[in-house]
Structure 1
């Protein structure tokens, strides 16, 4: 049984009470010419605020979860690496930290660790087989394919077919893009669009056609709302299942995760609250739809 009183003592928030009962009075924390702030003042402020309630909830829940589950540095670092990869370079990662309100990387790692604890609690007992992982990978293959694509965009199908014929007869794709493409931005670069993948937000018809092409293969004219495209893939990268197996497993586990309120209500039954200060902090809540893992 976890007691809230024990948790509070770690923060010295109850030292004021023990001092008062021993006749020593409440210890002064800050002195000013207009008055002092004591530990007793601090304690009263904490227990009367919503932030104090949130603080004690976080401390108690995390102590219980840390006793039930294990989270390794490897697990934390794997998620951290994914964040860094998505952020891009050092400047992008720095901007991410600032935008999310983290003072440094250690704060981010602490949040990641807490999120993993809650994820393990909400997915405890959920089973995912290798077949489920393999099936998900095959069904979502486009997410794991990246191609370096170029295109020539024109308004009329007839024009696109003429360009297609010239390319088959040996015309240079980049030169044709510079001369014929109505997309002047990519056209100036020989039609180059850079690397694209299934997760990019772009025309679905164009994306599907590009991802099917092999390296150095040129498509037939592809119609989209922008006109007619002739696409060429100059490089193709496919992420193997071995590299994304753990990510897919977490995705599948998350689909069958228990509602967060259910987990918290179960934890609440393991808590013994001493005194009235936080008696309302661990009341059971109504179970609604599944929520994302809390970012504590």
Structure 2
């Protein structure tokens, strides 16, 4: 690995155009567009790119990623694994179809490119961070709810009196699913016998009071009426799935390493020391910035 990475101005044009020819005195400027009112050359484009913040961002991205890819390794497997984790968090396949666009990416491939870049920076910021097996195990035990999924059904009503009456019916042995179909105000889940699917401590879109109550129940157990902003719920857990430590280990390790990661700006300032700039137009793009 060379100690210096040379930043040549034409790299920005390579990034934008795919190719660029150097211009020497006496040669006709290499034209990109001709009009009856004037022409645009690659030199004109270079000056425009070099004078804009967007142009500086492009050269920064190109150079920093070139150095990081020389120092670290990110495999397709790692990128796809992270993508699968995101898909799992989003949950619904149809919801994920629109997820990249909602996050500002054109498509899934652009999202994967962003994931790859993030992984390179993760490896750079956590290069010297060590995490022990004991730390991983302790974290797992302390955050067990995040690695436990409970399949939950509920009956939702708008007042406590009705909830208490349904609770009595259930204690008499009446079928939970049938009562949900007849009396639950949540008509979507009512049609499925109150079934809400699997929930976990990572289900951030749920009312925290409801989620906390559901995660405390054992398989087959029914809660007393639980009050939330939506009304009164009677909750039943029909199944429980736990992700074993062996499967959660890598994810936990990354979470713990992230807590000890160096600031990204510190990494960029270190990378700046490995750069030799040969075009004054890009001097400002690689100035050190004090970490916040």
In structure 2, relative to structure 1, the CA distance for the partners of 1:173 and 1:26 (3 Å cut) is same
Aligned length: 286
Classify the secondary structure of the residue corresponding to 1:8: helix
Aligned to 2:271: 267
CA distance in 1, matches of 2:43, 2:162: 82
Alignment of 1:4-43 (within 5 A): 4-5=7-8, 8=11, 11=14, 18-21=22-25, 23-43=26-46
Q: Conserved in 1, the CA contact under 8 Å of 2:74 and 2:116?
A: yes
Match of 1:278 among 273, 276, 282: 282
CA distance in 2, matches of 1:88, 1:224: 24
1:250 is aligned to 2:254: yes
1:76 is aligned to 2:79: yes
Aligned to 1:204: 208
In structure 2, relative to structure 1, the CA distance for the partners of 1:102 and 1:176 (3 Å cut) is closer
Give the superposition deviation at 1:148.
2.1
Match of 2:103 among 94, 100, 104: 100
Alignment of 1:29-178 (within 5 A): 29-88=32-91, 90-153=93-156, 160-178=163-181
Unaligned runs of 5+ in 1: 289-296
Give deviations 1:107-156, integer Å, cap 9, x for gaps. Answer: 22222111111111111101111111111111111112222222234566
CA distance in 2, matches of 1:275, 1:189: 66
What is the root-mean-square deviation in Å for CA atoms of aligned residues?
Answer: 2.8
In structure 2, relative to structure 1, the CA distance for the partners of 1:93 and 1:114 (3 Å cut) is same
Q: Conserved in 2, the CA contact under 8 Å of 1:7 and 1:60?
A: no
In structure 2, relative to structure 1, the CA distance for the partners of 1:277 and 1:185 (3 Å cut) is closer
Q: Conserved in 1, the CA contact under 8 Å of 2:9 and 2:279?
A: no
CA distance in 2, matches of 1:219, 1:125: 47
In structure 2, relative to structure 1, the CA distance for the partners of 1:77 and 1:225 (3 Å cut) is closer
Q: Conserved in 2, the CA contact under 8 Å of 1:9 and 1:15?
A: no
